[in-house]
Chain A
């Protein structure tokens, strides 16, 4: 297939996945911020949401205060933020339009309808401060991702077009899972609260809920929410569909399909396998001992390196 087509499909999937992630991170932050606490000071939730989404620099170039209205406007609606939900959907459609021939009618319909609906949310005026409007918008973003993903899964031919779009999705999802887990690192516990205390507990629960994993957690561990088990679920549990291991399992599989179809393996396939092996051999105990934040930071770098390798190998031909 055309290298540009593969590139567009890859990014289209990434943008759609990212829109979903941003919606989830805003929801998670709203929950974290609403936790009652002794003092009103030290509220770092919205700053942490910016860090987790990798947008803190662009944000501070545009805004002074990282409070809810500003951050929500920036992450959800802003045209100045290249990774806002609005822009993700805009870019996704631009990519989709460029490769319409590689999309099924259902995928096009999903993205095009979402783009048309997007015009109904302005997010610039007064409505912006309205949590109900925000919440409708976040639901819309998540539903869009879901419909798009579902239509791709159900209707695409299983050939390289499909594999590249899945690779984009899983690279993005792995990145997002790592980042959302890292939010907790950036949310500082007030000095009056203890680790393992009720605020700590509440924060981890909110995090699980934000990735629709609270029920899964209970099924798997059958005990109250513990930080290392949450990390275990989101990093090492094969059966958890957005865990880092599950993402890499899928990446290795789809990259193998591409390698087989083209009769050649390359640096992308080798790197994905290396990351996969490291995850398989890791234990949550070791990860916590050497530092969860450090582990996640390394992972995000490795993951983005996979993206670069694939760009060199296939998308820039």
Chain B
């Protein structure tokens, strides 16, 4: 299958947005790229950006490989993506408010009710309860893939506790240090305001009973969690306490944290713990990570949890196929971002199509995850296909099918040279009481194994910095560019000034 490469077109020409990157690559000898790669690894290791791999004692703290070639997206492409992301998250929030409220969408017959009620992520406790400001998904991570020059698809919605944003931020810091010239040659949309946007979002959704300076805390499962680095990183950037379950207590439905000065009331919890572990009294009784009484305080309206309890119903595989309908139902708009075309086998026409094209399709079990109960048609044996044909006939409702997507590739740097690798993109969307914010960019994940389409970090995936660049710079002449690069001149004059001042005071002393 031919893949769309984001840098080089089939005729060998370079796409506009990658012109400078291509030039930079051809100007950098292999040794230089190699030294940048090892420099990057050193930076990451010293900052301590690691993730844990469960059950592997020796590799308890591993680095996610970082690729030093930035992934380029033009401002025009981003503007379209951004509008689609905002639309999607808005609709998903309305969907959740409806599902835990009046359930109009079920009454209208747009979604089969059993898909909701029998769903493992549906939380009956939340029915009839309103959450502060009706926002459920405060932080969303939407996984986007690209298949050609124009088309982007949503691969997956992450509406529970999406992770990866710390890599988006740190990748940028490292990239600026590794390739200052390349960075200065572009006008890259900044991402460093993400923590401010997140803080503003969290403050805006405090319960109405909280005072004007709400106390916010980030709840982590603790330092053995694979994303602990990210939790501590974010708490630090937000300037809020990083708490574990044992640091919190609930008294008369009010949540407090244990401080050196005694208990202090908490208003908003950015929780990075799954619903199941939040509160041993409400959910899993064996959870030692959670806070007894937290859910009771939540239902009493005394604390905001971000994200809300029960959002898993919105990022479920079965519901995913209905998101275009969800958008139309609540917003009366056509979806701006497309889903990967999906056949719901519960529908007779789709089932017939899927049965005829099993050798081309990926068939997934609705409730399966992590590649369990999945048929990859093009790679399957005839026995496997036969088995799935029987399964589909027996229980069509339990399956969906999708085409095997030709994910786009980007250049990645290896010791043996530069080669194309498949990528996806996870932008982060923040929903507050007043506005929805999207920081331009996101986390690009790259499948570093040749030919692999799996970008997960647990399976040899890495990350790249993602640059949203202004289009107008591309046609600019070198003179114009120079006048744009005031950054360089400023630092020069600053260092001059500093040096002079210093030597002066030394002479005086």
Contact = CB atoms under 8 A, between A and B. Distances in A.
Interface residues of B, number: 23
A61 interface: no
Contact of A1 (B232, B236, B259, B263): B259
B223 A315 contact: no
Contacts of A101: 232, 235-236, 241-242
Contacts of A116: 45
Interface in B223-277: 223, 228, 232-233, 235-236, 241-244, 246-247, 257-263
Contacts of A100: 48, 232-233, 236, 242
A91 interface: no
A257 B261 CA distance: 14
Contacts of A1: 241, 259-260
A215 interface: no
Interface string A141-156: 0000000000000000
Contact of B259 (A94, A109, A258, A317): A317
A152 to B, nearest CB: 17
Contacts of B236: 100-101
A133 B46 CA distance: 25
Contact of A314 (B46, B222, B260): B260
Interface in B114-170: none
A296 B261 CA distance: 33
A4 B223 contact: no
B259 A2 contact: yes
Interface in A76-118: 94, 97-98, 100-101, 108-109, 112-113, 116
B46 A4 contact: no
A132 B233 CA distance: 40
Nearest to A163: B260
B258 A317 contact: yes
B260 A6 contact: yes
A109 B260 CA distance: 26
A94 B223 contact: yes
A233 B29 CA distance: 62
Contacts of B247: 2-4
B112 to A, nearest CB: 45
A219 interface: no
* B interface, over-half SS: mixed
Contacts of B260: 1-3, 6, 160, 164, 258, 262, 314-315, 317
Given A98-B223, A100-B236, A101-B232, A2 B45 contact: no
Contacts of B233: 100
Interface in A38-77: none
Given A94-B223, A101-B235, A317-B262, A2 B46 contact: no
Contact of A4 (B48, B235, B244, B263): B244
Contacts of A315: 260
Contacts of A262: 260-261
A97 B52 CA distance: 13
A113 B235 contact: no
B259 to A, nearest CB: 6
B46 A109 contact: yes
Contacts of A160: 260
Nearest to B241: A2
Given A101-B236, A317-B259, A317-B260, A4 B246 contact: yes
Nearest to A317: B258
A262 B317 CA distance: 51
A157 to B, nearest CB: 12
B258 A2 contact: yes
Contact of B257 (A2, A98, A112, A314): A2
B242 A3 contact: no
Contacts of A6: 260
B486 to A, nearest CB: 28
A3 B256 CA distance: 12
B140 to A, nearest CB: 24
B146 to A, nearest CB: 35
12 contacts: A1-B241, A2-B258, A3-B258, A4-B244, A5-B241, A94-B223, A98-B223, A100-B236, A101-B232, A101-B235, A112-B46, A317-B259
Return the 6 tightest CB-CB contacts between A and B, nearest first: A100-B232, A101-B236, A314-B260, A3-B258, A101-B235, A6-B260
Given A2-B241, A100-B236, 20 more contacts: A2-B243, A2-B257, A2-B258, A2-B260, A3-B247, A3-B259, A3-B260, A4-B246, A5-B241, A97-B228, A100-B233, A100-B242, A101-B232, A108-B48, A109-B46, A113-B46, A116-B45, A315-B260, A317-B259, A317-B260
